[in-house]
Structure 1
Amino acid sequence: MRERSAVGDAVRVLEGEVGDGVDAEGAWRAFLRFGRRLFDVPDTPESDGLLFQYGTYAFDGPPAFTLDLVRQFEIVDGDGEYDHYVQVRCELRYESAPALEALRAFDSWFFHGAGDDLDEWAARLTELPVWRALRSFGPVGVRVYQERV
């Protein structure tokens, strides 16, 4: 049986995988390596999920195209009951551009323990037109962080 890492170490693990000076495809490869790591989570189908999403948003400033790679962990209380989620994110932001805005918004989830295959999920996403579009642009910001949701 493979050893499982503590959820509290997840953001540090993702930071180590992503490194510096990454582009979208490099971040995706790093995120998939991170996604294959096992973490100590409850034994339920949706306790460890990966989210791939993108779109143009204006959360904290002017509109920006954002590629957001998220791993979500369920956290339980002392009785084993749901308490909250922790999301560990790799967010790549791009200046708004017509070619990126034309992609609109998209999201796709994968859950460890739900019977799906991670490599098949990743292969489907790798075929999306977003990858061709992003090759023409460099991110203006890359941020790896953790938040409680």
Structure 2
Amino acid sequence: MTRRLSMDGAVELLEGELGSGQRALDDLVTEDVWLAFLRFGRRLFDVPDTPDADGLLFQYGIHAFDGPPAFTVDLTRQFAVSDSNGDHDHYVQVHCEPRYAVVQELAERPVWATIQRLKPAEIRVYQEPA
């Protein structure tokens, strides 16, 4: 039987995957971040045995939530949490957000082709209840 990991350590596990190539976060290109997120996505976590209890989400766009506008790619893993009766209670989300300077190419070309080899200006990893 495969041992399933606790959601409590998900952020640290994702941070470990990002650093597993022995490179500083400042040296990672988007492809490195994506491959680290895929490794994280293959890990089995202790979640309820229900449909959609563990999912991968992706969104992107230009946002200025906590600073100047940045092109942000939000790679998210979402875990369902059940209450003591086994009913759905809430979700927990673990985010990996590479952020980039806003450049014209991002408005004119397919996103992945544009950012694949770029170095993010910043990479945020955090967890929040959804």
Report the TM-score when normalising by structure 2: 0.87
- 2:17 corresponding residue in structure 1: 17
Pick the aligned partner of 2:69 from 63, 67, 72: 63
In 1, Cα distance between equivalents of 2:61 and 2:93: 18
> Within the alignment, does 1:141 sit opposite 2:109 as a pair?
no
In 2, Cα distance between equivalents of 1:135 and 1:68: 14
Give the aligned residue type for 2:78.
Q
Give the aligned residue type for 1:75.
V
- 2:2 corresponding residue in structure 1: 2
Tell me the CA shift for residue 130 of structure 1: 2.3
In 2, Cα distance between equivalents of 1:64 and 1:7: 29
Structure 1, unaligned stretches of length 5 or more? 104-128
Tell me the CA shift for residue 138 of structure 1: 2.2
Q: Deviations over 1:37-90 (max 9, x none)?
A: 000001111110001221111222222100111000011111111111111111
Percent identity, please: 57
SS at match of 1:28: helix
- 1:96 corresponding residue in structure 2: 102
Partners of 1:55 and 1:101 within 8 A in 2: no
- 1:122 corresponding residue in structure 2: none
RMSD: 1.5
- 1:46 corresponding residue in structure 2: 52
Structure 2, unaligned stretches of length 5 or more? none
